[in-house]
Amino acid sequence: MSEPGPRDRFTVLYSSCYSRVHAYAVSCAGRQLAEEVASETFCVAWRRIDDVPDDALPWLLGVARNVLRESYRAEARRRSLENELSAWVSAEELTTGDVAESVTERAAVLRGLAALSDGDRELLTLVAWHGLRAADAAKVVGCSTATFFVRLHRARRRLERAMAAEPDTITLPSASLASTKESVR
């Protein structure tokens, strides 16, 4: 009898370990993120099926732990960006004459940026904050200059729509909802 192939091995791995990996993720991050963590863990297992040891559960839990760490780091980067944006907008207010107008615009910009995806925020900040030319920014995000221009144009339109929307009608990405409310205050 021949040894099972990668697909068969993964199927057995998934059916025997998924519930335990999911339970681990629930215990570390709660039910809301557990499905995403477990799914990403098994994506890694699929990509690295030849590296998965026979006693797979400890290896899978280690991968899940790393997925959680990366998720926490991404959230920390998001919060840092929001704090930096808040400080930048506050510094801008000091140089303008009308404080009420600055506060209103600041709130609209923060709401608008918070409503954007991480990718859209990255495109806008590469050009606006970091002063990169389109060709250089395209290299950063790994696309052609023409593609970058299209993405940047779309991101700008989404920012305009988000800034024009009423505060109650904006749908924020779930990961940045709590931290955005704090930074707008």
CATH number at residue 110: 1.10.10.10
In the chain, how long is the greatest CA-to-CA distance? 81
* Short-list 109, 122, 120, CA closest to 164: 109
* The total number of structural domains that make up the chain: 2
Residue 1 included in any domain = no
pLDDT surpasses 60 at 173: no
Q: Name the domain boundary from 74, 107, 129.
A: 74
Residue 81 included in any domain = no
Domain that holds residue 136: 96-184
pLDDT surpasses 60 at 148: yes
**Domain match, 105 and 179 both:** yes
Give pLDDT, residue 180.
37
**Domain match, 27 and 64 both:** yes
**Domain match, 119 and 171 both:** yes
- Between these two residues, 101 and 26, which has the higher pLDDT value? 26
pLDDT surpasses 90 at 52: yes
* Short-list 59, 99, 16, CA closest to 8: 16
d(CA 127, CA 58): 44
CB atoms within 10 A of CB 4: 11
On whether the pTM is more than 0.85, the answer is no
Q: Name the domain boundary from 19, 42, 74.
A: 74
* Short-list 105, 155, 89, CA closest to 126: 155
